[in-house]
Amino acid sequence: MLRTLIYSLSVLILLSCNDIDRVIGRDKPKAVSYSYSCLDSAIGGANVNKRLDKVGDLIRDIGVSEKSVTDEVQTEYGTMFHDQMTKDGTFKLITDGALQRQLSKALNDLLAKRETPSKIQYAVYALEDTVVNAFTFGGRIYVTRAMLQKCAGKTDLLYAILGHEIGHSEMGHIKATIQELELSTKIFGEQSGSTFYQIKKFLTASSNQKNELEADYYGINLTNELGYDVCTAVAFWKEMASNENGYNKVEDFFRTHPFSNLRAECLTAHIRTNFGKACGSLDKDSTLPQVKQW
């Protein structure tokens, strides 16, 4: 009984702190450095959060072995989730052949640049949604119409966005999410529909700020390998920052994503350090291939 209570309290702490933060079985490209020091000024970089991260890792491994969450298992979760969300009408997919071909090409281009590719089976979909967003689970990647509109005329930004979602899977973030889902089921039991409810919740709160930045770096690296302008991603986050009300410690504590201006600063430093490029004002007359307005 005591052990169950300890597990239960630990899971509640995990859920409230959103501390899924580690790389599982994937090596970063040796030629590229990943720095998270730019987050030190944020709540996510606080020492207490770092300690909670380590506790979370230990609890997950005790409750559900990471070895049991194989690439095939992740793919199965993604398939079940997609089928359920489309069946009950939660997701309304955009049925446009030309758009789907464009998204699939971008996805395949990015996947081909992975240095140590997983065996996760990927697919990408466009969603009817007015929120600027993209997310992933079990190799299934979803991009909203509002996000596609942000990418209009900016193929390089689309690649960076999709590369970010690939990063969440390849860097082990989704594997950790599945471990927590299975651990939660072990402790609390699986009620009708609860698993998919939890997945939907984790899609917005499964990765902490360091993981989001790690996925940003991963996507930027793949995008750069393909020869696209990675500075477009910096410009995107600067634009998103204009819609935020500035830094607030209370809000930062509950955020799973870094503030957009901090995200832009971190990416600027990463691009300068690894690719020797300074991200200033973008050339509006870029000759890069253009994304069609959808």
Give residue-wise pLDDT tens across range 188-200.
Answer: 666 544 555 455 5
Please give the model's pTM, rounded to 2 decimal places.
Answer: 0.76
pLDDT tens profile 253-292: 334 567 788 899 999 999 999 999 999 744 443 333 444 5
Which is more confident, 183 or 146? 146
Is residue 67 scored above 80 in pLDDT? no
Q: Give pLDDT, residue 46.
A: 45
To the nearest whole percent, how much of the chain has pLDDT over 90? 51
**pLDDT one-digit tens code per residue, 112-147:** 999 999 999 999 999 999 999 999 999 999 999 999
| Cα distance between residue 215 and residue 3, in whole Å | 35
Please report where in the chains the tokens 């996925």 appear, as a residue: 215
Where does residue 25 fall: left (phi above 0), alpha (psi -120 to 50 degrees), or beta otherwise? Answer: left
Kindly indicate the confidence band of residue 2, based on its pLDDT and cuts at 50, 70 and 90.
Answer: very low
Within 8 A by CB and 6+ apart from 105, the residues are none
Given this model, what pLDDT does residue 180 score?
Answer: 78
Residue 52: predicted pLDDT: 45
- Top-confidence range, 107-116, 179-188, 207-216, 237-246: 107-116
Domain spans in the chain, listed from the N-terminal domain onward: 2-275
CA distances from 47 to 10, 106, 128, 268 (A): 18, 38, 40, 25
Whole-number pLDDT of residue 243: 81
Q: Each residue of 153-189: b (16+ CB within 10 Å) or e?
A: ebbbbbbbbbbbbbbbbbbbbbbbbbbbbbbbeeeee
* Per-residue pLDDT, 64: 56
Map tokens 């005591």 to a residue: 2
Tell which wins on pLDDT, 189 or 206: 189
CA atoms of 121 and 108, how far apart (whole Å): 11
Total residue count of the chain as it appears in this document: 294
What is the reported pLDDT for 260?
Answer: 87
